């Protein structure tokens, strides 16, 4: 790969998933709407898009082009709990000194007073992966932006984020002055994305891709930035392996067809494993109480002999330990017949384990 990269004049693979805000491509109308919302200091805005639509890249671009706000904070994921949200507000937005930490007891019910005094200029909190936030945390987001005059929030998430807000936190959703959707890039924007990435890596224009190859990549990726990068990366790996000087449309078709075959095989394997898992779960439900106890011991201990299982179980109901071991051997035999247990030889005896 390194030799091939040098051959085409690249100092690195341009199609990794690194985020380059300076290479922002497309979404001109959406960016204009977002910039207008920022300039107007709107309290809450939402960015929606499917996985790979470029939400995070847009947010990172926004951080570097947000001149209207003196204080911009980026949260890559929302806090899981209300306590974590309080810690974030205190540490990142309030930033109390040592003395303030000693003599102030902050809670979500009073921290807005301090934040309102602290944030004396327009400030912006950007929350990525907003769909992962709990309704409780989102309720407190609404409370904070209501009571802190100079604080605005922009949150990005999957399309279902809108449904979560409208159904569970309507008070926050109702404050969204802008709901902006990121769909996909068009053909010209796809070409621009590939060209900028190649030039960032030291290359020239689209080489070694032909324009027809980029159009094929656009078709396979449906214009989604991450899928465009993923498909380009597969093409680069294939070209390096076969020492191709150019990547043409037919090469893209062959690579993606091979990928679909591999994906189909993987999906079939996953389906077979899922069916096997369901069958085992059904068999587990049919176990007798004694069989269940033996299985529980094996879950805890891993591989073990019938004697070791007997030493763990309550065998007072048996006339002797040997009778207990004989009974456990019969149970293990039945479990093996049902495909729940397997065994391996250990000297003159066997160790049993869950299959």
Cβ pair 74, 215 in contact under 8 A? no
The answer, yes or no, to whether residue 62 has pLDDT greater than 90, is: no
Question: What pairing do the DSSP bridges indicate for beta strands 123-127 and 151-157?
Answer: parallel
Quick one: fold of 1-14+186-286?
Helicase, Ruva Protein; domain 3 (1.10.8)
pLDDT band at 266 (very low <50, low <70, confident <90, very high): very low
DSSP state of 76: S
**What region, left, alpha or beta, does residue 285 occupy, with left being phi > 0 and alpha being psi -120 to 50 degrees?**
alpha
So what's the pLDDT on residue 1? 84
Average pLDDT over residues 251-273: 61
Average pLDDT over residues 143-165: 94
So what's the pLDDT on residue 225? 92
Question: What pairing do the DSSP bridges indicate for beta strands 341-346 and 349-354?
Answer: antiparallel
Residue 12: CB partners within 8 Å, gap ≥ 6? 5, 201
Q: Does domain 27-182 have CATH number 3.30.70.260?
A: no
Quick one: fold of 287-354?
Arc Repressor Mutant, subunit A (1.10.10)
1-14+186-286 matches 287-354 in fold:
no
The answer, yes or no, to whether residue 268 has pLDDT greater than 80, is: no
pLDDT band at 155 (very low <50, low <70, confident <90, very high): very high
So what's the pLDDT on residue 265? 44
Least confident stretch, 87-91, 243-247, 278-282, 325-329: 278-282
In whole angstroms, give the CA distance from residue 72 to residue 65.
11
Least confident stretch, 125-134, 246-255, 341-350: 341-350
Question: What pairing do the DSSP bridges indicate for beta strands 123-127 and 349-354?
Answer: unpaired
Cβ pair 214, 221 in contact under 8 A? no
The answer, yes or no, to whether residue 263 has pLDDT greater than 80, is: no
So what's the pLDDT on residue 273? 55
So what's the pLDDT on residue 98? 57
Tens digits of residue pLDDT in 169-211? 999 999 999 999 998 899 999 999 999 999 999 998 899 999 9
So what's the pLDDT on residue 140? 95
pLDDT band at 327 (very low <50, low <70, confident <90, very high): confident
Angle between helices 289-301 and 321-337 (to 10 degrees): 90
The answer, yes or no, to whether residue 3 has pLDDT greater than 70, is: yes
Better-scored residue on pLDDT, 47 or 38: 47
pLDDT band at 276 (very low <50, low <70, confident <90, very high): low
Least confident stretch, 65-79, 263-277, 300-314: 263-277
Domain boundaries, the chain: 1-14+186-286, 27-182, 287-354
Q: For the chain, what percent of residues have pLDDT higher than 70?
A: 90
Per-residue buried b or exposed e for 146-181, using 16+ beta carbons within 10 Å of the residue's own CB: eebebbbbbbbbbeebbebbeeebeebbebbebebe
Better-scored residue on pLDDT, 321 or 102: 321
Cis peptide before 208 (omega within 30 of 0): yes
Is this prediction's pTM over 0.85? no
The sign of the CA dihedral 130, 131, 135, 137 is negative
pLDDT band at 324 (very low <50, low <70, confident <90, very high): confident
- Residue 157 has φ and ψ, to the nearest 5°, of -165, 175
In this structure, what token pair is assigned to residue 260?
Answer: 């679909």
Query: In the block, which residue shows the tokens 């979500």?
Result: 108
So what's the pLDDT on residue 113? 92
pLDDT band at 267 (very low <50, low <70, confident <90, very high): very low
Better-scored residue on pLDDT, 339 or 271: 339
In this structure, what token pair is assigned to residue 341?
Answer: 């247990």
So what's the pLDDT on residue 339? 83
So what's the pLDDT on residue 208? 93
């Amino acid at each position: 790969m390194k030799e091939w990269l040098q051959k085409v004049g690249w100092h690195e693979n341009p199609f990794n998933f690194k985020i380059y805000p300076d290479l922002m491509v497309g979404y001109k109308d959406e960016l204009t709407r977002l910039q207008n919302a920022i300039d107007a200091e709107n309290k809450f805005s939402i960015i929606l898009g499917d996985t790979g639509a470029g939400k995070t890249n847009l947010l990172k671009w926004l951080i570097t082009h947000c001149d209207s706000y003196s204080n911009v904070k980026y949260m890559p994921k929302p806090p899981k709990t209300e306590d974590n949200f309080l810690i974030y507000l205190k540490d990142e937005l309030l930033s109390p000194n040592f003395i303030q930490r000693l003599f102030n007891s902050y809670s979500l019910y009073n921290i807005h007073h301090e934040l309102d005094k602290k944030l004396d200029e327009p400030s912006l909190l950007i929350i990525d992966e907003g769909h992962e936030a709990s309704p409780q945390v989102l309720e407190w987001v609404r409370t904070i932006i209501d009571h802190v005059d100079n604080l605005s929030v922009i949150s990005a998430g999957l399309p279902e984020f809108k449904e979560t807000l409208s159904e569970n936190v309507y008070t926050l959703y109702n404050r969204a002055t802008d709901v902006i959707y990121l769909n996909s890039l068009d053909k010209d924007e796809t070409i621009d994305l590939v060209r900028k990435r190649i030039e960032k890596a030291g290359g020239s224009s689209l080489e070694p891709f032909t324009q027809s190859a980029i159009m094929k990549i656009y078709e396979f990726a449906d214009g989604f930035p991450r899928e465009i990068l993923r498909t380009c990366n597969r093409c680069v790996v294939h070209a390096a392996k076969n020492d191709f000087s150019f990547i043409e449309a037919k090469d893209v078709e062959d690579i993606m067809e091979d990928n679909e075959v591999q994906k189909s095989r993987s999906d079939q394997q996953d389906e077979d494993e899922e069916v096997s898992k369901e069958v085992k779960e059904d068999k587990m439900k049919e176990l007798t109480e004694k069989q269940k106890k033996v299985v529980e011991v094996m879950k805890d201990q891993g591989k073990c002999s019938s004697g070791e299982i007997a030493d763990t179980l309550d065998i007072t109901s048996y006339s002797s330990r040997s009778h207990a071991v004989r009974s456990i051997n019969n149970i293990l035999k039945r479990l093996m017949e049902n495909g729940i247990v397997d065994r391996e030889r250990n000297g003159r005896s066997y160790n049993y384990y869950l299959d």
